[in-house]
Chain A
């Protein structure tokens, strides 16, 4: 079939100033993982639904006298199904292989990458690290998406390897659907903002949980007059993000090591655009309301908050789909994923002071150079959570607040 979607070669991934230099086999490894992930989600995954219908639900009903009615029962129903076991095992293995591939590429040249980062970062006021900051328990409880050492571990002084590993493997997890600089999410936000309002020019932007800054750089490029603050709790990714942005010629972002639950260094109403990208699900049920509360306090009148996430589980979502979307909670070290998607985010935002009538949601898909990279918007396969198509929660602060 000639219309098969084929990921581009790893050579097409953008080479900025701190990107690890991959040899032939390292690129081939990522090419393989991109194809494997594509195969698992397009060819293998649909069979999980058939396995549920054809046998697992019948077996469960025969034993229990009823079909599974809760997520717990769904897990019980599926866990002994051989096809589901094999798909799950391969999906887990492909993530572990991606981590090893990224780390082996990065760590063999760790001194060179750290040195390149240092050259771009040294004595720069736009990189503000806070060694006294404690990594919150929701970041340290497990290594998120099976990244050994998570975002925050430093192997040597001034280490950026966590950032480099995160950045270089995004291609494999999404089959190239995030585009040349894995920034299709940021590009999509820019496109949505510019379509909504001509000559839109936010004065001050905050990005919460920025990791390597791949989502905020497109906003910095689209709004060069804006003053941008990007925060994260982890120093290695911030060092990498700052060096990455500088090498791409971006000079209007200040990267700050801070915990989004308490941003007292910033004044009330001091940002007119606040974004987070696939971040809220990496927090906790206690932290989330505090973070939303800070966004409400920091948002200027007339400003907007955008949270890019996957859709919430609601009454209308079939139990099987919820179960599939929940897979990462237990099997990909994303322990808050399920609980967060079960929450009513609008309700949580109302609790911290946002006006329900000023909230909306939109669907966006990664914006990429479609002459080379595959478009997630045109991809019909449903992989329940990995594909870069998102649900954006938008809250505005348009009225005089009684704060």
Chain B
């Protein structure tokens, strides 16, 4: 029987990241891309965490003029603050995933009125008219 304060008998860091049983699907044509996307999304996530921590620091400093680590760990934003922070997250995610928004808009455009012309095509058209 383990005591709640005794050292863990598992490697909790390695265990946390364990692979789930079942062959992982490959979505991209290259497995390198698969790997890079996984690393990139993890970094995207950790930057979001850092930004939220920074926001907590700023709010606590503004409110108290000083802070201690416990105040950060137990920080509980009120409803308005939580909404502000949620919107910051959404803006951040929209920013890092910009390329998907733009591709989606281009695809919607294509569905509605045919594919966009290339710049070569537009340039050539303007040279003629």
Contacts and interface: CB of A to CB of B under 8 A. Distances in A.
Interface residues of B, number: 60
B14 to A, nearest CB: 10
A50 to B, nearest CB: 4
23 contacts: A28-B53, A29-B49, A32-B49, A36-B93, A39-B97, A50-B104, A50-B111, A54-B111, A85-B27, A89-B38, A90-B41, A93-B41, A103-B15, A104-B13, A108-B12, A111-B2, A111-B5, A148-B19, A150-B20, A155-B10, A156-B9, A331-B27, A333-B22
Contacts of A6: 82-83, 86-87, 90
B8 interface: yes
A44 B96 CA distance: 12
A372 B37 CA distance: 33
Contacts of B126: none
B90 A39 contact: yes
B108 A47 contact: yes
A102 to B, nearest CB: 8
Interface residues of A, number: 73
Given A50-B104, A156-B9, 18 more contacts: A9-B76, A28-B53, A32-B89, A39-B90, A43-B100, A47-B100, A50-B111, A54-B111, A92-B27, A100-B17, A107-B15, A111-B5, A115-B2, A142-B22, A156-B2, A157-B1, A158-B1, A333-B21
B16 interface: yes
Contacts of A39: 90, 93-94, 97
Interface string B77-100: 101001101110110011001001
Given A32-B45, A44-B97, A7 B3 contact: no
A103 B18 CA distance: 9
B53 A103 contact: no
Contact of B34 (A23, A29, A89): A89
Given A47-B108, A108-B12, A142 B21 contact: yes
A222 interface: no
Interface in A1-58: 4, 6-9, 11-12, 23-25, 28-29, 31-33, 35-36, 38-39, 43-44, 46-47, 50-51, 53-55
B-side interface mostly: helix
A99 to B, nearest CB: 7
A252 B17 CA distance: 37
A93 B38 contact: yes
B103 interface: yes
A96 B6 CA distance: 29
A187 interface: no
B79 to A, nearest CB: 7
A97 B12 contact: no
Q: Which of A32, A99, A100, A115 lies at the interface centre, i.e. has the most chain B CB atoms within 10 A of its CB?
A: A32
Interface of B: 1-6, 8-10, 12-13, 15-22, 24-25, 27-29, 34, 37-38, 41-42, 45, 48-49, 52-53, 56, 72-73, 75-77, 79, 82-83, 85-87, 89-90, 93-94, 97, 100-101, 103-104, 107-108, 110-111, 115
A80 interface: yes
A61 interface: no
A47 B103 contact: yes
A8 B82 contact: yes
Contact of A35 (B8, B10, B93): B93
A60 interface: no
B12 A107 contact: yes
B8 A111 contact: yes
A324 B32 CA distance: 25
Given A32-B45, A33-B45, A111-B4, A53 B111 contact: yes
Contact of A23 (B10, B16, B38, B73): B73
A80 B25 contact: no
